[in-house]
Structure 1
Amino acid sequence: MISNNRQAIALISDHADPAAVIGTEEAGGQNVYVRQVGENLAALGWQVDMFTRKANPDDPTIVQHSPYCRTIRLKAGPETFIPRDRLFEHMPEFVKSFCDFQTSQAYYYPLLHTNYWLSAWAGLQLQQKTGIQLIHTYHSLGTVKYDAILEKPKIAQTRIATEKKILEQASCVVATSPQEKEILRTRVSQKGHIEIIPCGTDTSNFCAIPPLSARKKLGWHPQDKIVLYVGRFDPRKGIETLVRACAVLKNQGCDNLKLVIVGGSINDRIDGQERQRIEQIVQEMGLSEVTLFTGQVGHDLLPLYYSAADVCVIPSHYEPFGLVAIEAMACGTPVIASNVGGLRFTVLPEETGLLVSPKDVEAFAQAIERVLLDEVWAKKLRKQASANVNQRFTWNNVAIKLSHLYRYTLARTIMHEQPWNPPLTSPLWTPVPVAAEAKQLAV
């Protein structure tokens, strides 16, 4: 039930179920983002309903995460897994189910925060019907994704058009890094409001554990030089580059090298083909004996893997933000990442890690070697990495900035002539009714 003392808002994440177990059927960074944002906004005084598509008939329709935050699964096509590239035809039913839910509960959400382009399409339909205030986070961009593939899917033009329309018509778009904002302006549209609010990480979970203690719990040798990858199997993640870089190091005589690859779906229908390809490359490079494929690892155990590693490598061809980078750094692990997208924002070169050109095997090998060989510098990186995340990338800070943005956006429904200038960096204020807030803005 909605609390009468709280402002109700809706987060829409069509394919990325906030209540899903991470690692199942495309569940990853977006699921974490929406769930953490929802729960932290509820802690700040909002009533948060997170809407997603029901993909399993055995899943409960409503999952209560906290007294004022819940996931609501809506009917949109058959209750089975459908890849996101084939979900668009079911989005009209998603919109209808959302409207039916509002009607059945006899309340109205004045603000929606949509996530990913499919949710953006749904949000635009609801905006047209009701004049709802609309905030959007992209998570990935079609204009960037389709540059990297030879054959574009049939849905490509619809996606690109929707991503342009949401930027131009939403109340505000949230970019997770200055680099994402730059891409939106140069490749999507010069119109629309954009505010930069980064992603965060749960620093109560992702925190430094003494490396030797972490290795002991995982059964790893204290003298191993551990290179870690965390993420799904996807050609755009650049795992092949990392494998070949480790082969270079091994051939150069790097002793005790161990490559640990964490991640992958529970079943193989999403990323099994890419995993098989990577396993074949590992074998061809003569790395089978020093490579560990762990499969899916729960978030409760991931801090052990990060803390036990000498370095975490993110060789992606593109990342809008890069949650893995801040998870690793929160655990005090230096990060070597591709010099692309939001990774240029999250990783501070020479302070928390290194940035190198994507797909450059030699550059990755040299960067990894530098961290592995210079123990004094690596120890300094560890300390700075953890401090940097705690200062810049906590979910509480993210929620505070989003809360400011939501209240400012709702207040502007009354003060239409007010110039766009949301106070995202102001101290946390006590929530006040929209009408009263409008008076504050008018001063």
Structure 2
Amino acid sequence: MMKIAHIVNQFPPNITAGLGRYVERIIPLMAGPLRLSVFTLNDGRLPVHEETGGVTVYRPLGRVLGGISRRRRLNRTRRVDFVLLVLNVVTSNWRYVLRLWSAGRDGRPDLVAVHDSTNFLAGLLCHYLLRLPVVLHLHTTEYGVDRPRGALSGLSPFPVIERWLARIAQRVVVCTPEVRDRLAAAGWDRQTIEVVCLGGTFERLPAEGGLDRDELRADAADLRARLGIAAADPVLLFVGRIERQKGVYELLEAMRTIVDAVPGTTLVIVGEGDEAGVRRIVADTGLAGRVRTSGGWVERPALLRYYEMADICVFPSLFEPFGLVATEAMAMARPTILGHGFSRIFLGDPARPAVRFIRGSDSDDIARTVIELMADPAARGALAERGERFVRDRLSWARAADETLAVYRAVLAAQRSAPGECGHRRNPH
């Protein structure tokens, strides 16, 4: 039986972003066919070691950073918090490797799956020190290959770290063909990159009767009332981190035109990040009363109510390695508008598209598309129906788990055929 160690920053109940939702769905599906261990961060309140669902979980507890995170949740969109998070990851990485070292050769995994370049220290030490084969799961390249101009600093080490990890990894797993193509264009070895598309966050939940829609509609109506939105007012919904690459500032700019054309329209922003920036833009543009925010991260039960309340979901991302929010909105049968940063896989049949694409950097294009759909209930209904069917028929976590396991098996088969390599390979990119 394969022994796989996952090194990943989020694991239930510590879910604060799309990575956590990915781990929550795919890990249980991989736990049956193999012996699985997870090395992950501790928010200061979780057990250091536990067995859950056939998975061994190790969460080292750091006193200083654990004490900080117990008082408040670190928000990576703030520079100081981002630095603290990276420090926490690097410190924890060192402890993961010490744990694997102390397990001895027989107690170590056959393969280490490293999720994202922030876990670079564990990936490099597992390769060079423990001589273990490494698979790099690259869920985001926003700090490296796709780093926006001015992000962090011009001297950011992440592009170098990503390339280093790619050189030592037996395989690089990404979520979409677009990410694979961008990496290849940046000089990465295309032959080592595997595309494994994800499933949907709410996969099959509505279709299989996992929702009481009448109860959910009532909860959504209560949410409207709490937010001060009239029952007849159209609602646009944005879900995601409040930062530049999510296109939220262009969406706010577009709202001035949207409100003029469709009076009463309210934008609801669900997520954490630059909430102060949102308030400043709302005040400067005269949108007071037309924009509401959730006040931070929203867990799944409450998130369903936000989706149910929405007339249209708008995610104008400039960059998105996959975009689980798209699968959420589509699964809930909400007409969905996506920015050009999303993968075109969500389009489905171009003749009968499952979503509408816009240029996320163009506020006029955002406004034009929203206004057009608001004026056409039939088009909204058709888009919602096709989106829900796309998620149900095309996206599957079981398929994603099977394809991921196939990558691991291929790596280990190659290792057995060349035992003298000790987990190392030449990769000249």
Does residue 1:97 correspond to 2:95, yes or no?
yes
| Partners of 1:237 and 1:63 in 2: CA distance | 36
Alpha-carbon contact 2:245-2:319 (below 8 Å) kept: yes
**TM superposition shift of 1:257:** 1.4
Q: Which moved more, 1:47-56 or 1:372-381?
A: 47-56
When the two chains are superposed, the root-mean-square deviation of aligned CA atoms in Å is 2.7
Letter in 1 for 2:206: C
- What is the TM-score of this pair, normalised by structure 2? 0.82
Q: Which moved more, 1:223-232 or 1:96-105?
A: 96-105
Alpha-carbon contact 2:346-2:355 (below 8 Å) kept: no
- 1:96/1:239 CA distance change after superposition, 3 Å: closer
**TM superposition shift of 1:330:** 1.2
- What is the TM-score of this pair, normalised by structure 1? 0.80
After TM superposition, the structure 1 = structure 2 runs for residues 352-371 of structure 1, keeping only pairs within 5 Å, are 352-371=354-373
Alpha-carbon contact 2:38-2:56 (below 8 Å) kept: yes
Matching residue of 2:110: 110
Does residue 1:50 correspond to 2:38, yes or no?
yes
- Matched residue SS, 1:174: strand
Matching residue of 1:38: 27
Alpha-carbon contact 1:205-1:300 (below 8 Å) kept: no
Matching residue of 1:261: 269
- 1:76/1:306 CA distance change after superposition, 3 Å: same
Matching residue of 1:426: none
After TM superposition, the structure 1 = structure 2 runs for residues 212-361 of structure 1, keeping only pairs within 5 Å, are 214-219=216-221, 220=224, 222-252=231-261, 254-264=262-272, 271=273, 274-295=274-295, 296-340=297-341, 342-348=342-348, 351-361=353-363
**TM superposition shift of 1:65:** 3.6
- Structure with the bigger RCO (C-alpha within 8 Å, sep 6+) is 2
- Matched residue SS, 1:301: helix
Identity of aligned residues (%): 22
Matching residue of 1:424: none
- Given candidates 49, 70, 79, the residue that maps to 1:62 is 49
Q: Which runs of 5+ in 1 are unaligned?
A: 1-5, 265-270, 418-443
Alpha-carbon contact 1:39-1:65 (below 8 Å) kept: no
- Matched residue SS, 1:403: helix
Letter in 2 for 1:71: V
Does residue 1:384 correspond to 2:386, yes or no?
yes
Question: Deviations along 1:402-432, whole A, 9 cap, x unmatched?
Answer: 1111122212211249xxxxxxxxxxxxxxx
| Partners of 2:117 and 2:151 in 1: CA distance | 21
| Partners of 1:358 and 1:96 in 2: CA distance | 39
| Partners of 1:89 and 1:281 in 2: CA distance | 32
Matching residue of 1:17: 10
Question: Deviations along 1:88-125, whole A, 9 cap, x unmatched?
Answer: 56666544422432355561111111111121342122
Question: Deviations along 1:302-354, whole A, 9 cap, x unmatched?
Answer: 223223312111122211111111111111112111112x4333344651221
| Partners of 1:19 and 1:59 in 2: CA distance | 10
Q: Which runs of 5+ in 2 are unaligned?
A: 75-80, 225-229, 420-429
Alpha-carbon contact 1:55-1:78 (below 8 Å) kept: no
| Partners of 2:36 and 2:114 in 1: CA distance | 13
Alpha-carbon contact 2:267-2:290 (below 8 Å) kept: yes
How many pairs were matched up?
Answer: 391
